[in-house]
């Protein structure tokens, strides 16, 4: 029986890159019953919300979802539909692999790293106090009374909670991932020298969990130092495990090292449910233009196949994509120098990948 999977084609360039991904997965012979559901700006007209109940229900039932980028609708009441989905299904891991493919324009080669980012808390908890509000004043007063420290009355405040339980499960995930994927080292990222009770807690937990995985090397790095090291000698790193904010920033830095967001997939994973996505946005200016690079969503599809236990087929598609990029004949504009017209569209790059899959 085929796998039943929720497919969200999303907004902007989403439907075009979704089509390529779906066709490549089909060409590799994976039997998938795609349950297409709407989310994002395109859902608002029909459902009055960017995240309809039937989409949520479909994800809940199928437990695996492939999601193209969503435009965050202004004034919908949602800060971000993507963040909402992560919170709603407790998708506490954001897994972002960064791999260099020969033929991609990049300053580095031979990179193969993974960022494991905590997805639920830290400064993304959404607990914020607006400047000038009554409750903000009360909080400032409370803090002055308890700590003797004065926060200016014209301040806004964002809260950064980090818990032992969430830190434990994300660090454990990183070590399990490293073990399963034969990776040699886990590096925990923090700023524990300054934020002793949040990042310090994260570091303590990471050290404790590392003690259970003596087969895998462990080290920690302060986030500012890590940023420099990633630019100077990224080849020294393997799996990075980070609280939410540092994970967000370092993920984009790593994407830059391997050729940008067009090559950068991600997975949001919980105990039961996983949502796979391209990490770039919906690039509305290119909507319907058959222009953009389909690789990030296709790589997300490859991660999804691995997660489903279809690793052989995943490898087949990845090899076909790598061949197309290396040969450089049927690639989109972002593989070329700016201004070059020697490129093909999304669809043509997809067809070239399918030909390679079929040749194998």
Residues that bind ligand NAD (CB under 6 A): 69-72, 82, 261-262, 277, 280-285, 292-293, 296, 334
Q: Which residue among 224, 329, 342, 358 is the active-site one?
A: 224
Query: Hey, CA dihedral for 84, 112, 272, 246, is it positive or negative?
Result: negative
- Please say which residue, 211 or 338, places its beta carbon nearer to ligand NAD: 338
Tell me which H or E stretch contains 176: helix 164-180
Tokens of 29: 């012979």
Tokens of 109: 């080669």
Residue 204 annotated to the active site: no
Q: How far is the CB of 327 from ligand NAD (least distance, A)?
A: 19
Residue 124 annotated to the active site: yes
- Please say which residue, 243 or 262, places its beta carbon nearer to ligand NAD: 262
Q: How far is the CB of 282 from ligand NAD (least distance, A)?
A: 4
- Please say which residue, 186 or 301, places its beta carbon nearer to ligand NAD: 301
Angle at which helix 14-27 crosses helix 346-359, to 10 degrees, equals 10
The whole-angstrom separation of Cα 134 and Cα 124 is 22
Residue 224 annotated to the active site: yes
Q: How far is the CB of 46 from ligand NAD (least distance, A)?
A: 19
Distances (CA, A) of 353 to 33, 315, 324, 329, 330: 21, 13, 6, 11, 9
DSSP bridge pairs for 187: 219, 240
Q: How far is the CB of 316 from ligand NAD (least distance, A)?
A: 22
The residue written with tokens 């004949």 in the block is: 329
Within 8 A by CB and 6+ apart from 151, the residues are 140, 143, 144, 157
- Please say which residue, 318 or 334, places its beta carbon nearer to ligand NAD: 334
Burial class of residue 150, CB neighbours in 10 A (0-12, 13-18, 19+)? exposed
**Helices H / strands E in the chain, number of each:** 12, 12
Q: How far is the CB of 301 from ligand NAD (least distance, A)?
A: 14
Tell me which H or E stretch contains 218: strand 217-222
The residue written with tokens 């349950």 in the block is: 35
Q: How far is the CB of 73 from ligand NAD (least distance, A)?
A: 8
* Rounded to 5°, angle at Cα 293 from 288 and 295: 130
- Please say which residue, 178 or 343, places its beta carbon nearer to ligand NAD: 343
Residue 177 annotated to the active site: no
Q: Which residue among 124, 237, 330, 333 is the active-site one?
A: 124
The whole-angstrom separation of Cα 120 and Cα 21 is 28
Tell me which H or E stretch contains 67: strand 64-67
- Please say which residue, 251 or 293, places its beta carbon nearer to ligand NAD: 293
- Please say which residue, 115 or 283, places its beta carbon nearer to ligand NAD: 283
Three-state secondary structure call for residue 229: helix
The whole-angstrom separation of Cα 102 and Cα 180 is 25
Q: How far is the CB of 81 from ligand NAD (least distance, A)?
A: 7
DSSP bridge pairs for 189: 221
Q: How far is the CB of 318 from ligand NAD (least distance, A)?
A: 17
- Hey, which residues are catalytic here? 124, 191, 224, 248
């Amino acid at each position: 029986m085929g796998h039943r999977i929720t497919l969200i084609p999303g907004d902007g360039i989403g439907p075009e890159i979704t089509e390529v991904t779906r066709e490549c997965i089909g060409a590799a012979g994976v039997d998938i019953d795609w349950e297409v559901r709407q989310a994002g700006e395109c859902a608002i007209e029909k459902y009055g919300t960017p995240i309809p109940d039937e989409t949520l229900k479909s994800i809940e039932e199928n437990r695996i979802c492939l999601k193209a980028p969503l435009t965050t609708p202004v004034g919908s009441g949602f800060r971000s539909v993507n963040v909402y989905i992560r919170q709603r299904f407790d998708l506490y891991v954001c897994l972002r692999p960064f791999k260099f493919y020969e033929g991609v324009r990049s300053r580095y080669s031979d990179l193969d790293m993974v960022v494991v980012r905590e997805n639920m808390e830290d400064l993304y908890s959404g607990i914020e106090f607006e400047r000038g509000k009554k409750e903000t004043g009360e909080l400032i007063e409370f803090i002055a009374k308890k700590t003797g420290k004065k926060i200016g009355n014209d301040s806004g405040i964002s809260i950064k909670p980090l818990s032992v339980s969430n830190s434990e499960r994300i660090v454990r995930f990183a070590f399990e991932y490293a073990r399963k994927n034969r990776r040699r080292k886990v590096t925990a990222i923090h700023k524990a020298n300054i934020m002793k009770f949040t990042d310090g807690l994260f570091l303590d937990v990471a050290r404790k969990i590392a003690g259970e995985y003596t087969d895998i090397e462990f080290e920690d790095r302060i986030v500012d130092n890590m940023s420099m090291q990633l630019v100077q000698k990224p080849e020294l790193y393997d799996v990075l495990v980070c609280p939410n904010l540092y994970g967000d920033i370092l993920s984009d830095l790593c994407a830059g090292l391997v050729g940008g967001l067009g090559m950068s997939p991600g997975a949001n994973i919980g105990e039961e449910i996983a949502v796979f996505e391209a990490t770039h946005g919906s690039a509305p200016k290119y909507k319907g233009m058959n222009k953009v690079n389909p690789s990030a969503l296709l790589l997300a599809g490859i991660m999804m196949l691995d997660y489903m236990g279809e690793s052989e087929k995943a490898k087949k598609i990845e090899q076909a994509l790598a061949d197309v990029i290396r040969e450089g004949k049927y690639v989109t504009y972002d593989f070329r120098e700016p201004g070059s017209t020697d490129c093909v569209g999304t669809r043509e790059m997809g067809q070239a990948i399918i030909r390679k899959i079929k040749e194998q």
